[in-house]
Amino acid sequence: MTFEPWEIEIHGRRVIYRMAGSGPPVVLVHGMLNNSRHWEAVAARLSDRYTVIAPDLLGHGESAAPRGDYSLGAHAASIRDLLAAIGIDRATFVGHSLGGGVAMQFFYQFPQRTQRLALISSGGLGREVSPLLRGAAVPGASALLWAAAHPRLLRTLRGAADALDRRGSSSGEYLRAFARAVRPLEPPGARRAFVRTLRSVIDVRGQSVDASDRLYLLSCMPTLIVWGERDQTIPLPHGRRAHELIPGSRFATLPRAAHFPHLEDPGGLADVLGEWLATTQPVHLEDREWSSLIAPGARGHRRLRRVA
> pLDDT tens digit string along 240-280?
999 999 999 999 999 999 999 999 999 999 999 999 999 99
Burial track 276-285 (b if 16+ CB lie within 10 A, e otherwise): bbeebeeeeb
| Residues 190, 63: Cα–Cα separation, whole Å | 10
| Residues 160, 179: Cα–Cα separation, whole Å | 11
> 137 lies in a domain?
no
Full DSSP string of 129-154: --HHHHHHTSTTHHHHHHHHT-HHHH
Catalytic residue of the set 63, 71, 78, 97: 97
Catalytic residue of the set 47, 63, 75, 231: 231
> 198 lies in a domain?
no
Q: How confident is the model at residue 187 (pLDDT cuts 50, 70, 90)?
A: low
| Residues 286, 292: Cα–Cα separation, whole Å | 10
User: Is 97 assigned a catalytic role?
Assistant: yes
Catalytic residue of the set 60, 75, 259, 262: 259
User: Is 212 assigned a catalytic role?
Assistant: no
User: At 252, which CATH number?
Assistant: 3.40.50.1820
Q: How confident is the model at residue 124 (pLDDT cuts 50, 70, 90)?
A: very high
pTM, entire model = 0.84
Percent of the chain with pLDDT over 90: 61
Contact 232, 258 (CB under 8 A): yes
| pLDDT (0 to 100) of residue 199 | 83
Q: How confident is the model at residue 190 (pLDDT cuts 50, 70, 90)?
A: confident
> 254 lies in a domain?
yes
> 81 lies in a domain?
yes
> 19 lies in a domain?
yes
Query: 10 Å Cβ neighbour count for 169?
Result: 13
Q: Write out pLDDT tens, residues 26-78.
A: 999 999 888 999 999 999 999 999 999 999 999 998 999 888 899 999 999 99
> 158 lies in a domain?
no
Full DSSP string of 201-242: HEETTEE----GGGGGGGGGS-EEEEEETT-SSS-HHHHHHH
Which CA distances in Å does 155 have to 36, 61, 169, 182, 264?
Answer: 24, 21, 19, 12, 21
| CA pseudo-torsion sign 96, 102, 105, 110 | negative
Q: What is the mean pLDDT of the chain?
A: 87
User: Is 231 assigned a catalytic role?
Assistant: yes
Give start and end residues of each alpha helix (H) in 65-206.
72-85, 98-109, 131-136, 141-148, 151-166, 171-182, 188-201
| pLDDT (0 to 100) of residue 157 | 65
Tell me the residue range of the domain where 280 lies: 5-129+209-293
> 192 lies in a domain?
no
Q: Greater confidence, 85 or 155?
A: 85
Distance of CA 147 to the CA centre of its chain: 26
- Radius of gyration of the chain from its Cα atoms, rounded to whole angstroms: 20
> 14 lies in a domain?
yes
Which residues are paired to 252 by β-bridges?
A: 226
| pLDDT (0 to 100) of residue 289 | 86
Q: Write out pLDDT tens, residues 136-167.
A: 666 655 555 555 555 566 667 667 777 777 77
Instruction: Give the total residue count for the chain.
Output: 308
Number of domains the chain is built from: 1
